[in-house]
Amino acid sequence: MPVADESVFWLTIAELSAKLRAKEFSCVELTRAFCDRLERYAPRYNALATPLREEAIRKAKDVDGDLKRGRHRSPVHGIPYGAKDLLAYPNHPTTWGAKPYAGQVFDAPATVLRKLDSAGAVLTGKLAMVELAGGGGYLYPSASLQGPGLNPWDTSKWSGGSSSGSGSAVAAGLTTFAIGSETSGSILTPAAFCGLTALRPTYGLVSRAGAMALSWTLDKLGPMCRSVEDCGLVLQVISGKDGDDPGSAGKSYYYAPQFTRKFSDLRVGFAPSDWDSLPSPDARTPLQAALDAFKTMGLQWKEVELPAFPYGPVLSMVLGGEAASVFEELITSGKVDELADKTQIAGLKSYLDISARDYLRAMRVRTLIQAEIRKMFYDVDVLITPTRSTAASGANEPLRSRAGAAPAPTAPSSGSPRGLREHVPAMNLAGYPALTMPCGFAGALPLGITLLTRPFNENTLIALGLAYQSNTDWHKRHPKV
């Protein structure tokens, strides 16, 4: 029967899969409903780069054929999803969110899209993004071909960058899940701002072949979903060795949270200042309540803080040095001036002034950071911290400027406690995985809580996240669309 109940658009992967196998509706009917919804509402949030209705319906017909014959390829078989527009999709534009690449077309799909296709997932559209995934630093959320990503909870607010369209689309029920990318916060931030559950995998666990490169040693692809379970199911499909990605770790992920250690054996590190002084006043109570919920799980607790390093400057130098090579032709040709954000243009041009000496110095400091963070995890198994200390900012408000040349590593500033507030640059430099989950609201806007752990230990994050979401309903709440 046709999809008539709007609640379908908020179901998880497992729930939709069960309905497809029970023949409550066909995959074609489900896909048409999602395509209609995506094309109708995505412009409201500046979320859609390229609709893929015809291709999606064709794929859905194949899925229905499989289901008719009793074939079930994977948990995502027949599930509609979207993908950030830095992932190559054959014979359609892959714009990287930027005017200079508006007509760019590739012949082959990105590895993650190929894997999802083989698993039977249905790609309904390419989703908007900040131009060049934010390379160069941008001052305004409007730095995108589609305009600023607007938050479905309040369209005067930003959905977060640079996976802005992915955050908006999943939050508004336009896709069941989306594939985003992170170099320094671009999965975690839009997920937190939009009330999603999302997973940034260990560096190298998911192939980036066919994805726009920003920083070869920092870039990661990951799922942005409705629930922790959904993140694990998608990660199982998209992970694995790929010879086309030199950064591939040669490892796969298998969804098996039931085999993780007992919670009573797990040591969780936290920093009191992350919860009682750093968050904005309207965020402190809900964030503290989220921490208190984890403290009822029988875990061991230890106060910690990040080692003293200039994480932001080091990451900026590494990213800038690598992005200068990636976008050298764009910059030297003058086409960089076609970008929407003048701050970003200036930032990209400044990357060409980064010397090999400064880049290598940053990489040496990065090695020290990785060693110290590795030591940190001798004493704890998991870290817990707010994803962001505030809710989403205004869609027309300037962000903190990142113009100019990437600074050289400097001594850390003194003053307020370090805590874990710099977890985004620190853990991206280290290549460690993170899971963010919705945990309440500051006013009418979602907040997120993040768990971090050792490389290739995603099942521990999943197990803890499942326990949290079994006792809370924040991940089940959605905006009115």
Q: Are 364 and 318 in contact (CB under 8 A)?
A: no
Catalytic residue among 84, 115, 157, 349: 84
Query: Catalytic residue among 26, 162, 215, 248, which?
Result: 162
Could you give the CA distance from residue 318 to residue 120 in angstroms, rounded to a whole number? 37
Q: Which of 306, 277, 275, 280 is nearest to 291 (CA)?
A: 275
* Contact between residue 205 and residue 192 where contact means Cβ atoms under 8 Å apart: no
* CB of 253 closer than 8 Å to CB of 285: no
Beta bridge partner(s), residue 446: 441
Active-site residue flag, 186: yes
How open is the CA angle 456-462-466, to the nearest 5 degrees? 175
**What does the alpha-carbon distance between residue 15 and residue 17 come to, in Å, rounded to a whole number?**
5
162 is annotated as an active-site residue: yes
Largest CA distance in the chain: 65
How many Cα atoms within 13 Å fall on the side-chain side of residue 141? 27
Rounded to 5 degrees, φ, ψ at 447 are: -125, 160
DSSP state letter for 379: H
Alpha-carbon span 450 to 258, nearest angstrom: 20
Q: What is the amino acid identity at position 79?
A: I
- Active site members: 84, 162, 186
